[in-house]
Structure formats: C-alpha cells, structure tokens
Amino acid sequence: MKKLLFAVTVSVLLLMGTSTTAQTKLRTGWYRATIFREDGAQIIFNAEVQLKNGKQVMFIRNAAERLLVDDIKVKGDSVNIEMPFFESFFRLQIQKDGKLVGKWFKAGSAKLLEFSVEFEYGNKDRFPVNKPATENSTGRWQVAFTRPNGTDRPAIAQFQQKGSVLTGTFLTPSGDYRFLEGVVSGDSLYLSCFDGSHAYSFTATISGNEIKNGMYYSSAVPVEKWRATKNEQAALPDTTQLTQLKPGETKLNFTFKDVNGKNVSINDERFKNKVVVIQIMGSWCPNCMDESKFLSSFYKEYKNKGVEVVALAYEYSTDFNRSRASVQKFINRFGIQYPVLITPTTTSDEQRTEKTLPQLTAIRMFPTTIFLDKQGNVSKIHHGFYGPGTGTFYTEFKADFYRTIRSLLAD
C-alpha cells in the first residue's frame, strides 16, 4: 500500500505540475462536485468552502448534514484534501475559473481505488429541476435491490419531499445509507450522498405508489437495479439470530492492542462488575462512524454510572500502523474516551470471528453491538445501526439502547 500511495502521489504531482495557473487558495463559496465512474455514471454532491479563524475549511452537504473537512493544504495550484474519516482523500488542481479538477482516492482491502472528480465553483444546486414535480414520494417504501447475480436484497426507503426537494435514506438489515439529498423533476427521482466512504447515486421513475426503473451506483461497485412499493408498514427481515453465543458459552475472552500498542483485555479490572458495551466496528464503515459518535456521547454520560465501552476494530489490513492511523481519525473527531482495540485480522478474513471471538458464531454485520451484564455474561447482541439520517428509526434505537443499559444496571 505504501508503494502504491507513493506512485499515486508522484503521478498526481506530475499532473498538477502542468498547470499554468498560480492560485494560492480556494475560492470561498459553493461547489458542485461530480465523481465519474468508469461506466460513465456520475455521483454528485455539494460542498462549501469557508474561512474559519483564518483557515480555509470545507463543509460537505448531505441534506441536513454538514461534514466538516478541515485538513486542506494548498500549494500553488495544487490542493490536497484529507477526509476526516476513512482512508479517503482528494488530489486536485485549481483552474482559472475556480474549478477544481483531479482525483478522489479511496483505500480498499485489496487496492487503492481512483476516480476522476471535478468541483464546479459557484453552483449550490445538486440536480437540475427541468420541470415541476408531478409525483410525491413522501412516506415509507418497501424496496428490493437486485444484485448483479439476479438475487434481491431487501430494504426500506423513508422519503420526505417538499415541492421538488427530496431527502431521506434507505435502511437495510445492517444499517442505513445515511443522509441522501436530491430532487424530483416531473416523475423522475434523483438522490445522492458523499461522506468519504459512501459515494452513492440513485435514479428512478415514480408512478403513484410504485417506483420503477431504479438504478443504484456506489463508487466502484457494480450497478444494481431497484424498485419499490409504497407501504407504511414496510419492514426488514429479523436479524436477531445472526450472531449468537455458541452452545455452552456465556462470556467473551479477548486481548487486543489499543491505538497506543497497549494490550487491553476484557478481563481487566476496569471492566469488572460493570455493564459493558462492546462495539464490533471498522474505520471503513460509515454506519460505524455514526455509532461511534453516539457511543462517545453516551459514554461521557454513563462512564461514572457503572458502564464501560470498548470497540473492536476489524480493518482492511493487518498492518497495525495503517489501521491505527485510520482508527485514530474516529477517536480524534468524536473525542472518544473509551478504548478502541485493533484486532489482528481483517474484515475480509472469513475466519475473523474464529480468530478473535471464538465464543461467537460468525460476525456478519458491521457494526454489531454486544451488551455484557455486571458478571461479564453476554446479555444481548444487536446487529447493525440506524443513524440520525433515519429519523424515527434512530429515535427508537436510542430508546431501546438506553432501556437495555438501565435494565442491566438495575440487575
């Protein structure tokens, strides 16, 4: 990976060296960014550059979310933007008209993914509205995404439409697609989001209580078709039986290194006679990002009430230093005070559970949250996470989470 990053950096610097402009900073204001897939599909989002305390920062807009990006370096006409989460960054060149042109890079488990990208200056709009909306998509929808192999996977869509403006999200058994923003133009639906890991675009046609001809694009993932039927009772399959304790097991037993290289064990004194929340996560996982933000806030509220939290990170690589750098972004941004441990296996390792938590059946979802009672016994296992972009689903999750904690503390 280090050799690959070096080669990418050299090639980008050579590209930027051909510019004839001599800008020293970004233009403040709005940009309309377009990520170009190899198949010609485009993933669009908006970002605003502002000046804060004499420093230029960027806010990436996804509906109600404003994602702060504060690691921006400009030298001549070259712009390096490091995303606050994930192994994700931009290498751009400032044009005379203020446009930014270059590449978006996203690390994967096997290679560094690369996409052409353009930031058009002065455009606050996401999608054009060529005609007034003739359909209203507000409500809950039962969704089926069709994989490239022809099989379906279930989801729920929750949309809010005001005039032509459309927001909402999709929920799957493992989590949600976070904050989506778009429009309805005539009977055509357009939605997208970008957070450094998620790079999603959705198009479809609305016809009364049916959504047809849907197409779903996700960075380099093969395109999927989707369809939906309006149904206020739409539900997802039960996931409560996915990961369980193996027969005869009651407790977990693990010791892993934290980001400072110190061994931390679930058998350490700090966890004894405490209710413990164990977060199974990865720094590559946007739903884990949302859960980490929630857990960090929760821990500050409950750490003096007999509760501990510990996160177990399953990363793209077994390179400890690479994993630590990515995990540290979460810790820094959310002020995480509980230990985040790096497991010595990867998220793609089919034996990851057996190698790290052999007391459990296979871990199939990230995040997965495990609750231990005061005696260290596994009391409950929760799969997935529905974040703030899901509205009432997030409210219901928080209510259930706090009920579980209060019940375990009362025992």
Calculate mean pLDDT across residues 53-78. 96
Model pLDDT for residues 335-355, shown as the tens digit of each residue: 999 999 999 999 999 999 999
Model pLDDT for residues 98-149, shown as the tens digit of each residue: 999 999 999 988 889 999 999 999 999 999 999 999 999 999 999 999 999 9
Q: What percentage of the chain carries pLDDT values higher than 90?
A: 91
Determine the pLDDT at residue 323: 96
Determine the pLDDT at residue 12: 47
Q: What is the CATH number of the domain that holds 159?
A: 2.40.128.120
Domain shared by 263 and 383, yes or no: yes
Residue 21 clears pLDDT 70, i.e. is over it: no
The answer to whether 188 and 203 are in contact (CB under 8 A) is yes
Q: Where are the beta strands (DSSP E) in 95-232?
A: 100-107, 112-121, 139-146, 152-162, 165-172, 175-176, 180-185, 188-194, 199-207, 210-218, 221-230
- What is the CB neighbour count within 10 angstroms for residue 306? 13
Q: Of 65, 90, 121, at which residue does a domain stop?
A: 121
Q: Which of 8-12, 196-200, 235-239 ranks highest by mean pLDDT?
A: 196-200
| 130 inside domain | no
Q: How far apart are CA 36 and CA 42, in angstroms?
A: 5
**Reported pTM:** 0.89
Domain shared by 284 and 389, yes or no: yes
Domain shared by 285 and 311, yes or no: yes
Q: Which domain holds residue 99?
A: 14-121
The answer to whether 242 and 68 are in contact (CB under 8 A) is no
Determine the pLDDT at residue 2: 42
Structure-block tokens of residue 263: 């061994």
Residue 1 clears pLDDT 50, i.e. is over it: no
Determine the pLDDT at residue 260: 96
| 356 inside domain | yes
Domain shared by 290 and 398, yes or no: yes
Pairing of strands 88-94, 78-82: antiparallel
Amino acid making up residue 394: Y
| 404 inside domain | yes
Residue 43 clears pLDDT 90, i.e. is over it: yes
